[in-house]
Chain A
Amino acid sequence: MARVAVDVVIKPEILDPQGKAIVAALARTGHPGVSSVRQGKHFDLEVDDSVTDADLEEIAENLLANPVIETWTITRLQDADAPVAR
């Protein structure tokens, strides 16, 4: 078993109104120094050893992210509880 993190963010050229609303809220709560926030999604996956990097790429591209509007990064995490990572 291994743990995998997939982080999905909206492409920089696409308007993120939620991020802008968060910037405005930060300014109101005493943090005017934050000029940009982009909101995204974080997925924690537990996968068995048969799941390859190519599988993970397909999972991210076909379901977790929409390539039209989002980019993603895949990170395999070491898991202390797992006897053998990967």
Chain B
Amino acid sequence: MTSGSGAPRIGVVTFPGTLDDVDAARAVRYAGAEAVPLWHADGDLKDVEAVVIPGGFSYGDYLRAGAIASHAPVMRSVVDAARGPRKLPVLGICNGFQVLCEAGLLPGALMRNAALKFICRDQWLRVENADTAWSSRFDTGAEILVPLKNAEGRYVADDHTLDELEGEGRVVFRYVTDGAQDGATNPNGALRDIAGISSADGRIVGLMPHPEHAIDPLTGPTDDGLGLFLSALDAITGAPTLTGASS
């Protein structure tokens, strides 16, 4: 379904405490889609063809980051649409990633950074799987530079889950640690340097860094992040670059 303008409709969710919905909507528009605001208390997804859960501090991060938001009316609709026959593509960025994990759409959890510091910097990521609804515009192995800004970005899951993610190619983005100083590994202690993962069918992706802040060199470190949103457009319009969404 498309709007009168014919552009694909991508929803951008706002919870109380969401910060990055404006930039996420801008990234959606840069990619050529119509950004449709979705409100946390409203379960109506307004015929969108994909959804972005942006970053911030939904519900003040009370209880656990993303925990309260994962039970909001809009999330019940997102979960149903993502798991249902539509296989709605969903991208969770930072707090949005935390929400997707809390909602059970993605495995694992995000915990306090190992060094207990809020990290705000530009971060190199390696694209490990260019076969998802949100990464098909990249080449596998490509390195992209996007901002990272969070206090609770340490991805954890049990070994079985981690092995499963690796085995199924569901680690989509990994922190680039080559050349790190002082033997340092990744920025936050994330297990296996995981920055972002996907669902088994590649339609749902969550990552801690912020591609929506890197869509124009005028306002971000690069325009590398735009690739995620362009990928989603391909997934919506059925462009042939996407091959991983059939399972």
Q: Is A84 an interface residue (CB 8 A)?
A: no
- The CA-CA distance from A64 to B116 in the complex, in Å, is 22
Q: Is A54 an interface residue (CB 8 A)?
A: no
CB nearest neighbor in A for B115: A17
Most B CB within 10 A of own CB, among A14, A18, A66: A66
Contacts of B108 in A (CB 8 A): 68
Within the complex, what minimum Cβ distance (angstroms) separates A59 from chain B? Answer: 12
**B112 x A66 contact (CB < 8 A):** no
**A66 x B109 contact (CB < 8 A):** yes
What DSSP secondary structure best describes chain A's contact surface? loop
Q: Is B133 an interface residue (CB 8 A)?
A: no
Q: Is B102 an interface residue (CB 8 A)?
A: yes
Q: Is B63 an interface residue (CB 8 A)?
A: yes
Most A CB within 10 A of own CB, among B71, B111, B114, B158: B111
Q: Is A69 an interface residue (CB 8 A)?
A: yes
Per-residue 0/1 for A50-64: is the Cβ within 8 Å of any B Cβ (1 yes, 0 no)? 000000000000011
**A15 x B102 contact (CB < 8 A):** no
Contacts of A63 in B (CB 8 A): 63, 67, 71
**B111 x A14 contact (CB < 8 A):** yes
- The CA-CA distance from A5 to B114 in the complex, in Å, is 29
**A18 x B67 contact (CB < 8 A):** no
Contacts of A69 in B (CB 8 A): 109, 111, 156
- The CA-CA distance from A56 to B72 in the complex, in Å, is 21
In the complex with contacts A68-B157, A69-B156, A17-B112 CB distance below 8 A: yes
Q: Is B221 an interface residue (CB 8 A)?
A: no
Q: Is B149 an interface residue (CB 8 A)?
A: no
Interface residues on B, range: 20 to 34
Within the complex, what minimum Cβ distance (angstroms) separates B170 from chain A? Answer: 16
Q: Is A82 an interface residue (CB 8 A)?
A: no
A-contacting residues, B100-151, CB 8 Å: 101-102, 107-109, 111-116
Within the complex, what minimum Cβ distance (angstroms) separates B154 from chain A? Answer: 8
Q: Is B189 an interface residue (CB 8 A)?
A: yes
Q: Is A80 an interface residue (CB 8 A)?
A: no
Q: Is B76 an interface residue (CB 8 A)?
A: no
Q: Is B64 an interface residue (CB 8 A)?
A: yes
Within the complex, what minimum Cβ distance (angstroms) separates B158 from chain A? Answer: 8
Within the complex, what minimum Cβ distance (angstroms) separates A18 from chain B? Answer: 6
Contacts of A14 in B (CB 8 A): 111, 156
A-contacting residues, B75-118, CB 8 Å: 101-102, 107-109, 111-116
Q: List 22 A-B contacts (CB under 8 A).
A: A13-B158, A14-B111, A15-B114, A15-B156, A17-B113, A17-B114, A17-B116, A17-B189, A18-B112, A21-B116, A63-B63, A63-B67, A64-B63, A66-B64, A66-B67, A66-B102, A68-B101, A68-B107, A68-B157, A69-B109, A69-B111, A69-B156
Instruction: Beyond the given A17-B189, A63-B67, please list 10 additional residue pairs across the A-B interface where CB-CB is below 8 A.
Output: A14-B111, A14-B156, A17-B112, A17-B113, A17-B114, A63-B63, A68-B107, A68-B109, A68-B156, A69-B111
- A residues in contact (CB < 8 Å) with B: 13-15, 17-18, 21, 63-64, 66, 68-69
